Structure 1
Amino acid sequence: MPGENLTRIEAQERRAIVDTHSYDVALDLTKGPEVFGSRTVVTFSATEGADTFIDLIAREVHSITLNGRDVPLAAFADSRIALTGLERENQLIVDADCLYTNTGEGMHRFVDPVDDEVYLYSQFEVPDSRRVFAVFEQPDLKAAFQFTVTAPEQWKVVSNSPTPEPKKHGDGQATWTFDPTPPISSYITAIIAGPYEEVFSELTSASGRVIPLGVYARRSLWQFLDADYIFEKTRQGFAYYEEKFDYPYPFAKYDQLFVPEFNAGAMENAGAVTFTESYVFRSKVTDATKERRVVTILHELAHMWFGDLVTMKWWNDLWLNESFAEWASTIATAEATEWTEAWTTFNAMEKTWAYRQDQLPSTHPVVAEITDLEDVQVNFDGITYAKGGSVLKQLAAWVGIEAFFAGVAQYFRKNEWGNTELSDLLSELEATSGRELGTWSKKWLETAGVNTLSPVIHEDAAGTITRFAITQTAPADYPTIRPHRLGVGFYNVTDSALERVHHVELDVDGDLTEVPELKGQRRPDLVLLNDEDLAYAKIRLDERSLETAIEHLGRIADPLARSLVWGAAWDQTRDAESSPSAYIDLVLRNIGSETESTTVRTTLAQLQLAANTYVAPEKRSATRAKVADGLWALAQAAEPGSDSQLQFVTAFATAASTPEHWAIVAALRDGERALEGLEIDTDLSWQLLISLAAGEVAHEKTIDEALAADNTAKGGEFAAQAKASIPQPATKRAAWNSIIENDDQPNTIVRSTALGFQHPATVGQLGEFVQPYFDMLLPIWNSRSYQIAQYIIVGLYPAPLANLALRDATRAWLAANQDAAPALRRLVDENLAGVERALAVQDRDAE
């Protein structure tokens, strides 16, 4: 039985039969807290006499009518309604009751603990519009959607089309009838409803149309929303994209809604983008978070063209959405906003993510093989987003940025409101650039794996280079050797800095590339391959360069060059080519002078992983104490009120591992000890409390008192994380049971509980959960929604143990469950890969 799955073959067969025209969807949101009414009228063409099915997940179906004849309710089974004896033109009417969710999938229902107000929003990507109405759930069956919504009259109701004046019923309810949309895919339709606060603005499109703009958030968060700034970034993005894409904004309006308990950063619903409320800042946040919000705003805006106007035929070309939006939002951020170092941020965060993902056993080509919906769920990953974005950056440089944008513009014009494949984009880029891209595509988009580039340097007694070459290697499982365009930078230590003294740019191809133009140069203190970050490849530092980096990295003036060195040092550590102890020294010595917030954020996370998991077990306790001591020293030395001060304090709280550390954390939280410029605001107070819980300094009563003082959704998440962090068998078991034995916790509480469960200071409690973890995998996978199952399977894996027993138990489960769902096996296999890598690095550290 298909269950809730859909295969690519089934979708292709259905597309050969069906051509959708329109949906008229009427939703009744006044039926109570569990269900809502859903009546769908679908008009579609079909092959006469053919049979097919339409998708629906519902509690109850009341009636099904096809072309005026009643269809037996037994036709609804296994998330599908069987449709038989189709005519050339068809009308299907389905009347059902559908379920609200608390998982962030389908129609999510949230009750604000502050004021008990109800807020709803839809989230349909990948296959969840069928949780709200009957639908042919695949991206290449586009149609016009008209929504009619009945809800409490005091609510705001938002969809893809401009919000109409509601018709009041006189009984406290009202009905909103929206205009039909242009032809779009079902996964980017949207309904958002509740007593949201709103503010409006407008802009004039390149077409001369006035585009209404709206920003929405919950009442209890409204005071924290900086709507004027969001409008400013939106206007900058509109101007940039309309110029570069040479295609006016395609929809009637543009609303941005910050919604509760959201799983992702945002979702590109056409004209009605939803964002996580983490982007409404009620406390001080880092510049990394502020910049990420701007990139996300521009990422979703880019989707209005790439994904919404022109959409992939099937999910194997998901990258056509996400990689392009990732690349476009980065270049737009760098060129159209004040965040001019966006490519440094991209290197520090996105490329780090891509390199990590590309070395997992689950790596795949940018154009992934997607056989069914379960496949696509796990492919929202670092390949689809970050590697794809990196490769597109390289492609734009290869064909020339002007030719690239010209090809994209032709792609939009030629395929507007349609569905495409990779070849459709490449053919337009070939036409505008004159370059043949089939070979490039095969090597970069249709093969997996990351290459490693290393310098070969010979010098004479006087220190003059007599030979310089670059070697390229590939992993045995993915042996493709690729062409790269890259720079080589030479850096020397001076009295004031580590400065670049020479740079060349060249093409690298094959296993070995000689670089004769560097012969005769004096060997520098540091050689940096991929200077300026043109290529997608891991780079290696020679021994002298690594020594220079450890001593002087913070003195490199160019933030992108620093980021490249940080990344190279981390890659060598992860690959067990240098010791994690050396990496820890590198970070503690140099991170204090790093100015780029995302570089600091990424590096501190890697520092914690090195200390908690990568160092040899016999050194771990001393190393964790050393790291926490170093972070506290950095916090004290940081500029008062600075971004780095905040990052060092929060990292110190997470790293705390001794009674002395927790005494400092407690004194900071209680106000008995202060750092100039550091405000212990609501969120920071919670982060300090989580640290104290992990150190058994704070207990459940203190956590409950903190929640009473901050009885908000965010406070509830922090409280769940704090309680799960307490290193007592009873509290760990209670945290486990709260999300394994019970299935009523919302998505954000599941995620927060799992985060606390894995707190590194409580690793000693995790051993007893190894067998229960494997016992629960199949039941959880078979009984929970994908999003919740993923949170549990990744979040409760006792990865901090990083020992042979965990490795062997994971291997044994995989060996015994060959027939488990491929998507489930992938998650477990990725967990195993993390442990195996940690063990290899531990061995290197013990040498």
Structure 2
Amino acid sequence: MKLRILLAVLVFNLFSCQNTSKKPDLLSPGISKELADFRKEQLSEIVYNLDFAIPEKLEDSIPAVLLLEVTIDNHLKPLYLDFNVPEGHVKNVIANRKEITIHHEQEHLIIPSAHLKRGANTFEIDFIAGEQSLNRNEEFLYTLLVPDRASTLFPVFDQPNLKALYNLTITAHKDWKVLAGAPEISTETTGAYTTHKFGTSDKMSSYLFSFVAGKFSEVEQNSVAFPMTLLYRETDSAKITSSLDPIFELHAGAVDYLEEYTAYPFPFQKLDFAAIPIFQYGGMEHVGAIQYRESTLFLDQTATESQLLSRAKLIAHETSHMWFGDLVTMNWFNDVWMKEVFANFMADKIVNPAFPEVNHDLLFVLSHYPSAYAEDRTQGANPIRQNLDNLKNAGSLYGNIIYHKAPIMMRQLELATGKKAFQEGIQEYIKTYANDNAVWNDLVSILDSKTEIDLKQWSEVWVNQSSRPVFSEEVTYDSNGAIKKLQLTQNAEDGSAKIWPQTFKIGLVYSDSTHVITAAIIDEELVLEEATGLPKPQQIIYNYDSMGYGIFPQQESVLQSIAQIPDAVARGYSYINTHENLLNAGLDPMSVFELYKEGLTTEENALILRRISGQTQNLFWTYLSDMQRESHQQELEDLVYAQLQKDLPATIKKTLFGLFESIAYSESGKKRLYAIWNKETKIDALKLNEDDYTGMAMQLALFGHHKTEEILQKAASQISNPDKKRRFQYLQPALAADERTRDAFMSDLKEAKNREKESWVLSALGYINHPLRQESGVKHLKMSLELLEEIQLTGDIFFPKNWLNATIGRYTSEEAYQIRETFLEANPDLNQVLKNKLYQATDDLDRLHRRRSKIK
């Protein structure tokens, strides 16, 4: 009996230990999935009453008060608020009217269960505002709290599925404007300060809470059913005059379209926006107070069609987020791609009526395919939907796959479902999950009922797996020269067994016509029966309608005919496909160079010419050898400069000038560029503004013009906008001819405070690591890689990848490749997502290394 009791005790203890080990770790840095799931069950009816007092001096801290109202179901467990700030920022905590001891550890403010009660609770917290995501400048500040940065500003439940209401009070200098997510209901001025009180906000996730304060100009228009307000700091009168009406009109048009498409009215109290000079992204969809990068919104008469389109798409994208992301929010940030894919997808639809003269099918192809391929072809390719264990890693999920492959996938999904059924599904999705949270399978389940296709299986390869198909052809002919067999075979580029079900068209080109057939491929191989018996074509253009995704066959013997393809969509995609075949070592770089030269002289479509120009720059600086580049630089410079002298549209000329400016480093090029900058040479129809002249001055400094010091001094004196003048001054060390000055600048970037203005930092890195300066810049690559993990923690969501792109991503040498390999060997535990970002940024470096290895 005693033995049985002993065994029972041992078994009990064993299971107790096992159960204990399985308990979720609720207290750890960041916001773990376990903590988020626990709080979702524990909490409801959350209201944040926040009061910030912004001092006049930039160096002074910001005192703040939070009155938190929350309903607690499980009061036997502690309450964990997220507050990722240094120790000492919490000054006082009152829990349900009782002052308690402060427990602030591992990035959390903890209220012990003894101070909680079931039902309604209130907590008053005096604290010093965190500043990691409170972007403070001398004359303005703004919050940017995506994805988990609200907790670096104030104590909060910083997860997307705990939506809350906000009551905000901001006290700031009386000369400052303040914009927040709810309407302002009162102001009171005392001495040099004004207190701004805002009404109760709409329910929102914590990453969508925001405010902007500072010296801004303000304008209001009634372009929709309610007035919209814009804050801005732009001082160029030409840009202001040309931009204000379009900015409001584009927002209003987007709202009208989205209300009709979703069958759901505008979901929030207001739609205001602020244009910020140094904003890290193109835009951010804060509820009631969208933030934009100012340079994207404010354009003048020199703006190209591409710039106008970019502005329209950006505004449509951020406005779409009001429904997709803000109204219906992902449950966890592993589905962050959902809000981005919908915003991009809807933006493409919205822009169509605003630009009726644009070929929107072509625009979609050129906007999304190159960027999606740029990551999906790499060793670091990731699925659209990624796993996420902790929100502290959520920022690293962002990238081109989310923003560009996902819309391509969505277009295929719409094609598979049918436009009408797809829209009905979206309307049901919005209505069902309004003011709530959803996951991808929620939408798939809705759409699955509207099509015969197994969307869950379809989604598995398109959404949950990475890479892309590589198509190969088998074409045979009979004795009469007719097609006997036309077969396509797809294989996954990453070597896996994945198959992508998709539909696209194939063009068989004859001397007087093009015969188009449809390819609906669902297996590894597809025999195109419709082609059997057709005469032998001059060439076969795969993915003729650009609906397909992957690398398609491209014969080098007919490469030059691409420039003569009459269909703009087919021609545009063929240039993209040529680039992909070049990278896969399927085409000779010099043959491709000849095609691009022809395209630069014959292409009349501004969108395609922009793509040719970009691919030409990549080929010239990356895939031509040093000897080839030096041999053909003058030829390319002369060709582009000659095109600038011709009678061509302004948009075409602006694109050509951008290419000329990027490669004009020869003595003749510097002379020509200097003459344009100094206004000695005027090129008809080339519209240049102050920003263009500033850019030319910096490019001349990069190229080592003998009058560099004089050029930079004159350029500085001609900059009228104080924000742009400060940026120009910041970039001077990166432009310096003296290597020691550039080295000192790079050394300063080790300090996080010197990396705060991220867009400025990236511009500076572009000059320091330019191909012409890589002999001196390569020594900084080791340091740049060693800072990567810190940059993920201190920088905003796009900064780690952009940092890599601007440093080691610019390099082509074997030395740079070995530096990367040494770093990876020394850091075997590097976060896999960061490792993927590194592989994505160095894809060209990988391909060049493999080419060199084959030659050896």
The answer, yes or no, to whether TM exceeds 0.5 is: yes
Alignment counterpart, residue 95 of structure 1, candidates 106, 122, 126:
126
1:446 Cα deviation from its structure 2 partner: 1.3
For 1:13-32, list aligned pairs within 5 A: 13-30=38-55, 32=57
Q: Deviations over 1:473-511 (max 9, x none)?
A: 1124443112111111223456xxxxx521122311222
Equivalence for 1:263: 280
Give the TM-score taking structure 2 as reference length: 0.90
Which stretch has the larger CA shift, 272-281 or 698-707? Answer: 698-707
Counterparts of 2:348 and 2:659 in 1: how far apart (Å)? 27
Counterparts of 2:569 and 2:802 in 1: how far apart (Å)? 36
Which stretch has the larger CA shift, 462-471 or 788-797? Answer: 788-797
Alignment counterpart, residue 648 of structure 1, candidates 644, 656, 661:
656
Asked if the contact 2:476–2:484 (Cα under 8 Å) also holds between the matched residues in 1, the reply is: yes
Alignment counterpart, residue 146 of structure 2, candidates 125, 130, 137:
125
For 1:163-182, list aligned pairs within 5 A: 163-169=184-190, 171-182=191-202
1:694 Cα deviation from its structure 2 partner: 1.8
Aligned amino acid, residue 567 of structure 1? I
Gaps (5+ residues) in structure 1?
112-117, 205-209, 495-499
Counterparts of 1:358 and 1:157 in 2: how far apart (Å)? 42
Q: Deviations over 1:422-470 (max 9, x none)?
A: 1111122123445431111112111111112233322346543222121
Aligned amino acid, residue 62 of structure 2? F
Asked if the contact 1:628–1:657 (Cα under 8 Å) also holds between the matched residues in 2, the reply is: no
Counterparts of 1:804 and 1:37 in 2: how far apart (Å)? 52
Aligned amino acid, residue 611 of structure 2? T
Structure 1 pair 235/215, CA: closer, same or farther in 2 (3 Å)?
same
Alignment counterpart, residue 108 of structure 2, candidates 80, 84, 97:
80
- Is structure 2 residue 323 aligned with structure 1 residue 305? yes
- Is structure 2 residue 844 aligned with structure 1 residue 834? yes
Counterparts of 2:396 and 2:634 in 1: how far apart (Å)? 36
Counterparts of 1:61 and 1:430 in 2: how far apart (Å)? 50
Aligned amino acid, residue 198 of structure 1? E
Counterparts of 1:459 and 1:718 in 2: how far apart (Å)? 63
- Is structure 2 residue 384 aligned with structure 1 residue 357? no
Equivalence for 1:566: 575
Counterparts of 1:792 and 1:391 in 2: how far apart (Å)? 24
1:810 Cα deviation from its structure 2 partner: 0.9
Equivalence for 2:254: 237
Q: Deviations over 1:796-815 (max 9, x none)?
A: 52444412222122111111
For 1:672-687, list aligned pairs within 5 A: 672-687=680-695
Counterparts of 1:523 and 1:398 in 2: how far apart (Å)? 31
1:400 Cα deviation from its structure 2 partner: 0.6
Structure 1 pair 339/410, CA: closer, same or farther in 2 (3 Å)?
farther
Structure 1 pair 374/535, CA: closer, same or farther in 2 (3 Å)?
farther
Aligned amino acid, residue 414 of structure 1? T
For 1:516-555, list aligned pairs within 5 A: 516-549=529-562, 553=563, 555=564
Which stretch has the larger CA shift, 519-528 or 422-431? Answer: 519-528
Which stretch has the larger CA shift, 721-730 or 324-333? Answer: 721-730
Q: Deviations over 1:224-270 (max 9, x none)?
A: 23121122222221221111111111111111221121111101111
Give the TM-score taking structure 1 as reference length: 0.91
Equivalence for 1:739: 749
Asked if the contact 1:758–1:796 (Cα under 8 Å) also holds between the matched residues in 2, the reply is: yes
Counterparts of 2:627 and 2:35 in 1: how far apart (Å)? 54
1:790 Cα deviation from its structure 2 partner: 2.2
Secondary structure class of the residue paired with 2:684: coil
1:304 Cα deviation from its structure 2 partner: 0.6
Equivalence for 2:814: 804
Counterparts of 2:245 and 2:528 in 1: how far apart (Å)? 52
Asked if the contact 1:454–1:539 (Cα under 8 Å) also holds between the matched residues in 2, the reply is: yes
Q: Deviations over 1:810-843 (max 9, x none)?
A: 1111111113344443333334433112333567
Secondary structure class of the residue paired with 2:696: helix
Counterparts of 2:286 and 2:239 in 1: how far apart (Å)? 24
Aligned amino acid, residue 677 of structure 1? A
Structure 1 pair 741/700, CA: closer, same or farther in 2 (3 Å)?
farther
Aligned amino acid, residue 771 of structure 2? P
For 1:787-826, list aligned pairs within 5 A: 790=800, 793-794=803-804, 797-826=807-836
Alignment counterpart, residue 704 of structure 2, candidates 696, 702, 706:
696
Q: Which has the larger radius of gyration?
A: 2
Secondary structure class of the residue paired with 2:449: helix
Counterparts of 2:96 and 2:380 in 1: how far apart (Å)? 46
Counterparts of 1:763 and 1:593 in 2: how far apart (Å)? 34
Equivalence for 2:777: 766
Counterparts of 2:799 and 2:383 in 1: how far apart (Å)? 25
Structure 1 pair 337/664, CA: closer, same or farther in 2 (3 Å)?
closer
Equivalence for 1:61: 90
- Is structure 2 residue 428 aligned with structure 1 residue 410? yes
Equivalence for 1:607: 616
Structure 1 pair 409/386, CA: closer, same or farther in 2 (3 Å)?
same
Counterparts of 2:143 and 2:357 in 1: how far apart (Å)? 31
Asked if the contact 2:788–2:800 (Cα under 8 Å) also holds between the matched residues in 1, the reply is: no
Counterparts of 1:504 and 1:14 in 2: how far apart (Å)? 55
Secondary structure class of the residue paired with 2:590: helix
Q: How many residues align?
A: 818
Aligned amino acid, residue 202 of structure 1? N
Which stretch has the larger CA shift, 729-738 or 136-145? Answer: 729-738
Equivalence for 1:754: 765
Structure 1 pair 610/840, CA: closer, same or farther in 2 (3 Å)?
farther
Equivalence for 1:670: 678
Secondary structure class of the residue paired with 1:154: coil
Equivalence for 1:184: 204
Which stretch has the larger CA shift, 155-164 or 261-270? Answer: 155-164
Asked if the contact 1:616–1:843 (Cα under 8 Å) also holds between the matched residues in 2, the reply is: no
Secondary structure class of the residue paired with 1:744: helix
Secondary structure class of the residue paired with 1:743: helix
Asked if the contact 1:793–1:828 (Cα under 8 Å) also holds between the matched residues in 2, the reply is: no
Aligned amino acid, residue 87 of structure 1? K
Equivalence for 1:161: 182
Q: Deviations over 1:533-557 (max 9, x none)?
A: 22222222234443422xxx1x333
Counterparts of 1:613 and 1:378 in 2: how far apart (Å)? 27
Counterparts of 1:456 and 1:547 in 2: how far apart (Å)? 22
Equivalence for 1:207: none
Equivalence for 2:474: 456
Secondary structure class of the residue paired with 1:530: coil
Q: Deviations over 1:585-643 (max 9, x none)?
A: 1111113333444433333222112111212344332244443333323323361x611
Asked if the contact 2:554–2:578 (Cα under 8 Å) also holds between the matched residues in 1, the reply is: yes
1:175 Cα deviation from its structure 2 partner: 1.9
Counterparts of 1:83 and 1:420 in 2: how far apart (Å)? 30
Structure 1 pair 376/783, CA: closer, same or farther in 2 (3 Å)?
closer
- Is structure 2 residue 508 aligned with structure 1 residue 490? yes
Structure 1 pair 768/446, CA: closer, same or farther in 2 (3 Å)?
closer
Secondary structure class of the residue paired with 1:673: coil
Equivalence for 2:18: none
Counterparts of 1:638 and 1:577 in 2: how far apart (Å)? 37
Q: Percent sequence identity over matched residues?
A: 21
Aligned amino acid, residue 349 of structure 1? S
Counterparts of 1:783 and 1:531 in 2: how far apart (Å)? 44
Equivalence for 1:216: 231
1:410 Cα deviation from its structure 2 partner: 0.7
Counterparts of 2:585 and 2:38 in 1: how far apart (Å)? 48
- Is structure 2 residue 596 aligned with structure 1 residue 581? no
1:713 Cα deviation from its structure 2 partner: 2.3
- Is structure 2 residue 518 aligned with structure 1 residue 505? yes
Which stretch has the larger CA shift, 302-311 or 334-343? Answer: 334-343
Asked if the contact 2:801–2:841 (Cα under 8 Å) also holds between the matched residues in 1, the reply is: no
1:348 Cα deviation from its structure 2 partner: 1.2
